[in-house]
Amino acid sequence: MAKTMYTAKFKADRVLEVLRGDETLGAIASRHNINPNLLRNWKKEFLEKAPQLFDESNRNRENVAKERQAEAEREELLKTVGQLTIERDWLKKKSIEVFGPDYEKRFSKKPF
């Protein structure tokens, strides 16, 4: 039997339905073809992790981690740009040596 994967939004929406209390957990589970125990587990996990949403230190750690990752990506991109600039300059120098200073005219003929 294949395991059904539920999105985080689907899980959160079902848990919020349970917390609203308009219907029983069993009725909500039945309406969405979910095992009631699975829905209970989602609710338990939701309630356990809810305080983290308001934890400033946790949020700050996440922001610092994201900033570090963005900075690392930026550094990698700058390194690549630098390398490509060096390669382009070297190719330009070699093209002048091999084909002469007007090499661009030889290779920039328009096809039309």
**Which burial class, exposed, middle or buried, applies to 15 when counting CB atoms under 10 A from its CB (0-12, 13-18, 19+)?**
buried
Place of tokens 């290779």: 107
pLDDT for 112: 58
In this structure, what token pair is assigned to residue 50?
Answer: 């809810």
How many residues would you count in the chain?
A: 112
The C-alpha atoms of residue 11 and residue 5 are separated, in whole angstroms, by: 10
**What is the three-class DSSP state of 80?**
helix
Place of tokens 């230190």: 57
Kindly report whether the global pTM for this prediction surpasses the value 0.85.
no
CB atoms within 10 A of CB 100: 10
Q: What is the mean pLDDT of the chain?
A: 90
- What pLDDT digit, counting tens, does each position of 64-73 carry? 889 999 999 9
Residue 43 CB-half CA count within 13 A:
20
pLDDT for 58: 73
Contact criterion met (CB below 8 Å) for 17 and 3: no
